[in-house]
Amino acid sequence: MKVKTCLLHMFLMLLTAGSVMLFGDLRAASASSSFVETSGTRFTLDGKDFYFAGTNNYYFHYKSKKMVDDVFADMIAMNLKVIRIWGFLDGEPNEHSVMQPKPGIYDESGFSKLDYAIYKAGQTGVKLVIPFVNNWDDFGGMNQYARWFKADGHDAFYTHPGIKKAYKDYVYYMLNRVNTYTGVKYKDDPAIMAWELANEPRAPSDKSGNTLIEWADEMSAYIKSIDQNHLVAVGDEGFYRIEGHPEWPYGGGEGVDWKRLTALSAIDYGTYHLYPDHWGETAEWGNQWIIDHIRDGNEIGKPVVLEEFGYQDKTKRDGVYKTWLDIIEKHDGAGSQFWILTGIQDDDTLYPDYDGFRIVYPGSAASIISEHAGRMNEKSPDSR
């Protein structure tokens, strides 16, 4: 059971339910109605630097309002400004919700829940990052498109004419969708910070990186042709393509060339992820991974965000996270987003720790992240 004994947090929960009108009005007044922009290697909001700590959550588009509200309340209590949520649910429904059951068919069961998440973000002053498709099979993904069009494998997603058209059609619908809670088109809503082309795209059949580069160049330009308000990122893991490098994340084996992707003209900032457990590396290895991306982002002239990170050993996690976040601050990184903030379920029990990376508030890891968030926020006064 998640016991919320903190009076402040209980107060914030009342806010998310709309029960405390005075404080709610103050939050609404402080929430920026402007779009996040970039200036060199920094994000800006209302003409001021916008540094941030944030998080990720994958269930906003099929779970209840109560569960969504709880995560937003935890974010406010932890000083978090940005959350990355999924903008896709392709093929089969998940708990009776689906967004695109077939190409070109867009279902209200999922989209109405995304509407609510965007509406709630606007209420609380949180900014959203939303990718359009998944590299992986969860919630459909690129393989679902390949099955729909009887294409030859995962990487056909990037080159098959029918798939590319279906992806563009989906993007067009999302950007022009009118939110049923706000009456505002997605492309006009400042609650959204950025669109991402995909979650963790890879194209291992082309180790030159060209397939993914060409697709990202085309699709990012397409998004910008419709929506000039929002930032666009690739959403990739930050893999380098350094020929002969002995370490897998640097060697280019997944068909990702992070520096070239980040430098594309319609890409506004770079993303990178960090999972030493999954990549066969140590926590200490991650220190240089962070430094390398901030350094190379500075050379490219764009902000970079550690937008997913996780470490599974809970006995060491707090120290590892503190080290990584301290490095981001020391090297003037633009932002961080840990994986994954979850809250309560409808029966008030904690959402299960399915992947071993769950962070809950209150908790020791949440405190470390919250302290980091406070220091990042101090670098961007009055931006929230």
Catalytic residues: 200, 308
Whether the bond into 130 is cis, omega within 30 of 0: no
Tokens, residue 130:
């939303």
Q: What is the dihedral of CA 258, 264, 267, 268, to 10 degrees?
A: 90
d(Cα 62, Cα 81) in Å, to the nearest integer? 22
d(Cα 275, Cα 279) in Å, to the nearest integer? 6
- 86: nearest Cα among 37, 138, 34, 144: 138
Tokens, residue 339:
């994986």
Q: Between the CA of residue 186 and those of 18, 195, 218, 368, what are the distances in Å?
A: 23, 10, 21, 33
Check residue 185 and report its DSSP letter.
Answer: B
d(Cα 128, Cα 117) in Å, to the nearest integer? 9
- Give the length of the chain: 384
